């Protein structure tokens, strides 16, 4: 399957999961969309599962699965309340997805990820950072929480300070084993400059 995935940080996560060597069973929280990154892990022999609450994202994934003759086991579900047993997964991630919630809901979702992970299992979570050019765009509804208009709809975005998540108990029961703080400057197709800021975490369940 010669698909190109744009979610390049998940290749870093793949290195960690391959290095850890637990049972190859992985969960994606926010798994839908046109190029579902669970395909990367499927390609390396993982049993894949995913949840997404967006019908639209699920439809796009269904098209991808049909085109590539794959079944990634992605279901419609809210990541704050996962329909899986405790310690069912070796690995779990939420990539460019979890921050479309309030910080309180993000904390609940990370607790759920912690619950379904086995001891020693790894989680990958990323947030947009205070370095992002959109970090204060939109209607402020909480600390670092902004409603931003996307395709005519108000969409919640939570931005994090560099040490905010670990300092505020978001990773209770986890140890941070990798953290990357990156600022990416690019150019849009129309020539405008763009600055994206992200913080990626790889966590181990204690």
The answer to whether 12 contacts a second copy (rule: CB under 8 A) is: yes
| Candidate segments 12-20, 53-61, 75-83, 134-142, binder of a second copy by CB under 8 A | 12-20
Q: Tell me if 49 sits within 8 A of 84, measured CB to CB.
A: yes
Nearer to a second copy, 149 or 177 (CB): 177
Return the residue of 75, 149, 155, 177 that touches a second copy, per CB under 8 A.
177
**Smallest separation (angstroms) from a second copy to the CB of 105:** 26
The answer to whether 186 contacts a second copy (rule: CB under 8 A) is: yes
Nearer to a second copy, 19 or 152 (CB): 19
Q: Which two tokens stand for residue 91?
A: 């690995």
Contacts of 144 (CB under 8 A, 6+ apart): 103, 130, 135, 158, 159, 160, 161, 164
| Candidate segments 14-22, 72-80, 87-95, 143-151, binder of a second copy by CB under 8 A | 14-22
The answer to whether 167 contacts a second copy (rule: CB under 8 A) is: no
105/103 Cα distance (integer angstroms)? 5
The answer to whether 24 contacts a second copy (rule: CB under 8 A) is: no
Q: Which two tokens stand for residue 56?
A: 């639209």
Q: Which residues of 154-188 are buried (b: 16+ CB within 10 A; e: fewer)?
A: eebbbbbbeebbbeeebbeebeeeeeeeeeeeeee
The answer to whether 8 contacts a second copy (rule: CB under 8 A) is: yes
Name the phi and psi angles at 198, rounded to 5: -135, 150
The answer to whether 136 contacts a second copy (rule: CB under 8 A) is: no
Q: Tell me if 41 sits within 8 A of 73, measured CB to CB.
A: no
36/7 Cα distance (integer angstroms)? 9
| Candidate segments 92-100, 114-122, 143-151, 171-179, binder of a second copy by CB under 8 A | 171-179
Return the residue of 11, 55, 71, 81 that touches a second copy, per CB under 8 A.
11
90/41 Cα distance (integer angstroms)? 13
The answer to whether 83 contacts a second copy (rule: CB under 8 A) is: no
Nearer to a second copy, 127 or 146 (CB): 127
Size of the chain, expressed as the number of residues it contains: 206
Output DSSP code: residue 129: B
Applying CB under 8 A, the residues found at the interface with a second copy are 2, 4-6, 8-9, 11-12, 14-15, 18, 43-44, 176-187
């Amino acid at each position: 399957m010669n698909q190109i995935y744009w979610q390049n940080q998940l290749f870093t996560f793949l290195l960690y999961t391959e290095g850890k060597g637990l049972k190859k069973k992985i969960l994606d929280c926010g798994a839908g969309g046109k190029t579902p990154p669970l395909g990367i892990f499927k390609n390396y022999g993982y049993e894949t599962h995913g949840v997404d609450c967006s019908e639209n994202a699920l439809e796009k994934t269904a098209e991808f699965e049909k085109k590539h003759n794959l079944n990634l086991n992605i279901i419609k579900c809210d990541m704050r309340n996962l329909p899986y047993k405790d310690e069912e997964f070796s690995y779990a991630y939420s990539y460019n997805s979890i921050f479309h919630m309030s910080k309180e809901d993000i904390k609940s979702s990370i607790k759920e990820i912690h619950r379904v992970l086995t001891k020693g299992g790894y989680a990958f979570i990323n947030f947009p950072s205070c370095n992002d050019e959109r970090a204060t765009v939109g209607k402020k509804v909480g600390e670092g929480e902004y409603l931003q208009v996307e395709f005519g709809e108000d969409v919640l975005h939570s931005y994090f300070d560099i040490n905010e998540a670990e300092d505020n108990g978001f990773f209770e029961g986890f140890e941070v084993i990798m953290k990357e703080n990156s600022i990416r400057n690019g150019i849009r197709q129309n020539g405008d400059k763009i600055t994206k800021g992200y913080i990626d975490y790889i966590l181990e369940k204690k």
